[in-house]
């Protein structure tokens, strides 16, 4: 039966063979317009990857195909610019709750694309370690499940995904960070995921107050706890990239609880023990105390941008050499702690550059903390509210 599940409708090749690598799967999913099929394929790909049935995250011997600028979307879902979207309301009527549910399903389907896009766009180009693929395969699987349960709930309520118009601005923000993994992680996988954690409790209470306990429970029991782990993945990989750019060991401290598995890929960040031992005793790069430290870190990371990667004759990139060089200099000690301040300053700089406007309080401090997203990361990016003559302005 499972062979049937391989079916991947490839628009340009008509190929019915399963993709070979996780990145190939990601590309197929991004090219799949039907949202149910997109979620189904994503679940299949993630399950296979996490079981070890897809041996390679990407094929280092051939250049990666770029992902589409915009993922395929169903023509049955009418997309409107944000300014033309009807107001959702506050859940006080059945119509408003249906609009809220439709909007949530749309956001989740978009999140499926976003999760596979980071895998396809940056995974190979940035020679990310296997744990990166594990994390975002899990995130993608979760997002697909969220979409599936919410669209099923829409049907139970006599509607369906596509019955209402949907916000066309969601991918624009992703496009602005399509050239930088550091910016993508900061904006989409930290700021936006954390914003979801801020607003979800209010959304849940609106469904509950409106008498839709079933939707409230879906959001509260399934979606909310999993969204915490998504924000956590964003923070974890942002920190990893910063530390890697400073030649520090990426996996020993930045991916807690995950055992590095050598993929056998060049420069995949899962340094073998020999390399790490060889590096012991070598000087750890000094923490840059000057104000230019965060600029330098951003530059170092962005120097690894896909567009600048020059593949040599053996298919090994200059990035690979850079990363391996960094790993060779790494030292397995507690020096990572010293870098936290610099990582956070880098985060502030990247968010200020790529995210429009201040972050909006109030923050769900507890959920953010559970994700490892401490106030030092985001509070300086918020503009405090000021009250003038009874009016709240931001």
Q: How far is the CB of 269 from Fe ion (least distance, A)?
A: 23
From residue 65 to residue 84, the character string flagging contacts with Fe ion as x (rule: CB under 5 A) and all else as - is --------------------
Return the number of the residue (183 or 265) whose C-beta is nearest Fe ion.
183
Return the number of the residue (20 or 214) whose C-beta is nearest Fe ion.
214
Return the number of the residue (108 or 131) whose C-beta is nearest Fe ion.
108
| Binding of residue 38 to Fe ion (CB under 5 A) | no
CA-based nearest residue to 254, from 280, 267, 236: 236
Burial class (CB in 10 A: 0-12, 13-18, 19+), 228: buried
Q: How far is the CB of 166 from Fe ion (least distance, A)?
A: 16
Return the number of the residue (50 or 332) whose C-beta is nearest Fe ion.
50
Return the number of the residue (219 or 330) whose C-beta is nearest Fe ion.
219
Count of chain residues binding Fe ion (CB under 5 A): 5
Q: How far is the CB of 332 from Fe ion (least distance, A)?
A: 32
Q: Which one of the spans 230-238, 244-252, 357-365, 378-386 is the region binding Fe ion (CB under 5 A)?
A: 230-238
Query: In whole angstroms, what is the distance from residue 163 CA to residue 8 CA?
Result: 26
**Most distant CA pair in the chain, distance:** 68
Q: How far is the CB of 35 from Fe ion (least distance, A)?
A: 13
Does residue 362 have a cis peptide bond before it, meaning omega lies within 30 degrees of 0?
yes
Q: How far is the CB of 216 from Fe ion (least distance, A)?
A: 16
Segment holding 304, helix H or strand E: none
Return the number of the residue (169 or 211) whose C-beta is nearest Fe ion.
169
337: which residues sit within 8 A by CB, 6+ positions away? none
Return the number of the residue (99 or 114) whose C-beta is nearest Fe ion.
114
Q: How far is the CB of 229 from Fe ion (least distance, A)?
A: 8
Assess contact for 273 and 65: CB atoms under 8 A.
Answer: no
Q: What angle do CA 219, 221, 223 make, to 5 degrees?
A: 45
User: Which tokens in the block code for residue 111?
Assistant: 């999140």
Return the number of the residue (186 or 297) whose C-beta is nearest Fe ion.
186
Q: Which one of the spans 139-147, 297-305, 321-329, 330-338 is the region binding Fe ion (CB under 5 A)?
A: 139-147
| Binding of residue 246 to Fe ion (CB under 5 A) | no
Does residue 30 have a cis peptide bond before it, meaning omega lies within 30 degrees of 0?
no
Residues 85-114 that bind Fe ion (CB under 5 A): 108
User: Which tokens in the block code for residue 81?
Assistant: 């610019």
**Helix and strand counts by DSSP (H, E) for the chain:** 16, 4
Q: How far is the CB of 150 from Fe ion (least distance, A)?
A: 9
CA-based nearest residue to 145, from 241, 219, 48: 219
141: which residues sit within 8 A by CB, 6+ positions away? 42, 43, 46, 47
Q: How far is the CB of 312 from Fe ion (least distance, A)?
A: 37
Residues 270-309 that bind Fe ion (CB under 5 A): none
| Binding of residue 230 to Fe ion (CB under 5 A) | yes
CA-based nearest residue to 175, from 133, 113, 229, 83: 113
Return the number of the residue (137 or 336) whose C-beta is nearest Fe ion.
137
Binds Fe ion by CB under 5 A, chosen from 146, 236, 244, 249: 146
Query: In whole angstroms, what is the distance from residue 32 CA to residue 170 CA?
Result: 18
Binds Fe ion by CB under 5 A, chosen from 117, 143, 212, 304: 143
User: Which tokens in the block code for residue 243?
Assistant: 């530390």
Eight-class DSSP state of 287 = P
Q: How far is the CB of 225 from Fe ion (least distance, A)?
A: 11
- Give contact residues for Fe ion (rule: CB under 5 A): 108, 143, 146, 227, 230
């Amino acid at each position: 039966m499972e062979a049937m599940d391989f079916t991947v409708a490839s628009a340009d090749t008509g190929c019915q063979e399963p993709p070979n690598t996780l990145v190939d799967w990601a590309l197929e999913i991004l090219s799949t317009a039907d949202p149910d099929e997109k979620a189904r394929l994503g679940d299949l790909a993630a399950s296979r990857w996490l079981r070890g049935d897809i041996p390679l995250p990407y094929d280092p011997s051939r250049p990666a195909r770029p992902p589409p600028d915009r993922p395929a979307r169903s023509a049955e879902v009418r997309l409107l610019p944000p300014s033309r979207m009807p107001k959702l309301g506050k859940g006080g009527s059945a119509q408003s709750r249906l609009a809220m549910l439709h909007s949530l399903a749309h956001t989740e389907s978009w999140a499926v694309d976003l999760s596979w896009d980071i895998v396809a766009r940056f995974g190979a180009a940035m020679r990310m370690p296997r744990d990166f693929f594990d994390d975002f395969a899990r995130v993608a699987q979760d997002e697909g499940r969220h979409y599936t349960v919410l669209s099923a709930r829409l049907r139970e309520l006599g509607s369906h995904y596509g019955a209402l118009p949907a916000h066309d601005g969601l991918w624009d923000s992703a496009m602005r960070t399509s050239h930088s993994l550091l910016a993508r992680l900061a904006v989409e996988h930290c700021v936006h995921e954390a914003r979801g954690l801020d607003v979800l409790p209010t959304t849940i209470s609106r469904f509950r107050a409106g008498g839709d306990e079933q939707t409230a429970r879906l959001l509260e029991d399934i979606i909310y706890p999993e969204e915490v782990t998504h924000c956590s993945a964003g923070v974890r990989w942002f920190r990893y990239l910063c530390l890697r750019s400073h030649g520090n060991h990426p996996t020993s401290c930045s991916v807690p609880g995950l055992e590095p598995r050598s993929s056998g890929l060049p420069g995949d960040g899962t340094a073998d023990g020999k390399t790490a031992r060889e590096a012991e005793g070598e000087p750890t790069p000094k923490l840059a105390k000057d104000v230019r430290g965060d600029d330098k870190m951003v530059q170092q990371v962005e120097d690894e941008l896909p567009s600048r990667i020059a593949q040599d004759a053996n298919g090994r990139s200059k990035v690979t050499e850079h990363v391996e060089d960094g790993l060779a200099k790494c030292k397995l000690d507690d020096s990572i702690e010293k870098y936290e301040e610099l990582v956070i300053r880098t985060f502030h700089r990247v968010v200020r550059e790529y995210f429009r406007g201040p972050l909006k309080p109030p923050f769900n401090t507890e959920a953010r903390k559970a994700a490892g997203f401490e106030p030092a990361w985001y509070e300086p990016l918020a503009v405090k509210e000021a009250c003038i003559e009874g009016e709240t302005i931001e």
